[in-house]
């Protein structure tokens, strides 16, 4: 249900709701998005739903075809590879810049996430680890002081959130990502920007490799698309 008393326009609320459901994989690729059903479920008229779907189409999250209507977009493997390539550069730069200007307050915030990761892995709670891995990435973005870089990373990470569970779909891959993140944090703790960036970029390349390993075995796909 949309909050009718919100100061935000109904189209914005509908947009954020549908977008969240797509990124969380509650609305899976290929699912048909029927305006009338969405309007009824969200307690709004069809106009804000139509506006929201138009914006989601521009974001690449929704595909519209005449006579067929709107559906949740499939994830292009080519596009996924491009996202990882851009992430490697941007995240590496963000961690380098953060390491150069790393205060004790910032390192302690990052350390808190690492400690929670330690606890999750010790309990074999890998769904919790995936959530904390996402939190770590979001914190890196949040602590980045370069506003242009921050905005680019926010958009990039929204798109990558659809791929995270693919690249961390078994225990060993979770453990690998955990160890990689620990090494990154150690380099940052040592105030070594070169090593921090190198490890961050390697971590993203490894994530891309994990993605490639998993799509064939765990998801139905064509040469151009992968079902999440």
Q: Domains of the chain (ranges plus CATH)?
A: 10-73 (1.10.10.10), 76-226 (1.20.120.530)
pLDDT: which is higher, 162 or 53: 53
Q: Does the pLDDT at position 6 exceed 70?
A: no
Asked if 221 and 77 touch (Cβ cutoff 8 Å), the reply is yes
Q: Does the pLDDT at position 221 exceed 60?
A: no
Which residue is listed with tokens 């929670």?
116
Mean pLDDT, the chain, as a whole number?
Answer: 88
Q: How does residue 204 score in pLDDT terms, banded at 50, 70 and 90?
A: very high
Q: Does the pLDDT at position 218 exceed 90?
A: no
Express each pLDDT in 21-35 by its tens digit. 998 878 988 999 999
Q: Does the pLDDT at position 1 exceed 50?
A: no
Q: Does the pLDDT at position 161 exceed 90?
A: no
Asked if 169 and 218 touch (Cβ cutoff 8 Å), the reply is yes
Mean pLDDT calculated for residue range 93-107:
97
Express each pLDDT in 107-143 by its tens digit. 999 999 999 999 999 999 988 998 999 899 999 999 9
Q: How does residue 222 score in pLDDT terms, banded at 50, 70 and 90?
A: very low
pTM of the model: 0.77
């Amino acid at each position: 249900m949309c909050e009718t008393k919100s100061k935000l326009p109904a189209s914005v609320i509908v947009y954020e709701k549908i977008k969240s459901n797509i990124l969380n994989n509650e609305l899976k690729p290929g699912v048909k998005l029927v305006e009338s059903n969405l309007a009824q479920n969200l307690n709004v008229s069809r106009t804000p739903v139509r506006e929201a779907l138009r914006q989601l189409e521009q974001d690449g999250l929704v595909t519209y075809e005449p006579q067929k209507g709107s559906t949740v977009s499939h994830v292009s493997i080519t596009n996924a590879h491009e996202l990882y390539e851009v992430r490697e550069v941007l995240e590496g730069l963000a961690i380098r810049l953060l390491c150069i200007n790393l205060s004790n307050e910032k390192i302690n915030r990052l350390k808190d996430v690492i400690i929670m990761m330690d606890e999750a892995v010790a309990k074999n709670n890998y769904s919790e680890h995936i959530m904390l891995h996402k939190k770590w990435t979001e914190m890196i973005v949040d602590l980045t002081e370069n506003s242009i870089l921050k905005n680019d990373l926010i958009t990039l990470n929204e798109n990558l959130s659809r791929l995270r569970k693919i690249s961390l779909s078994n225990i060993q891959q979770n453990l690998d990502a955990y160890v990689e993140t620990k090494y990154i944090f150690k380099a940052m703790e040592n105030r070594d920007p070169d090593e921090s960036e190198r490890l961050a970029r390697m971590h993203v390349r490894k994530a891309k490799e994990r993605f490639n390993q998993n799509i064939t075995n765990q998801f139905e796909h064509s040469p151009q698309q992968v079902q999440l």
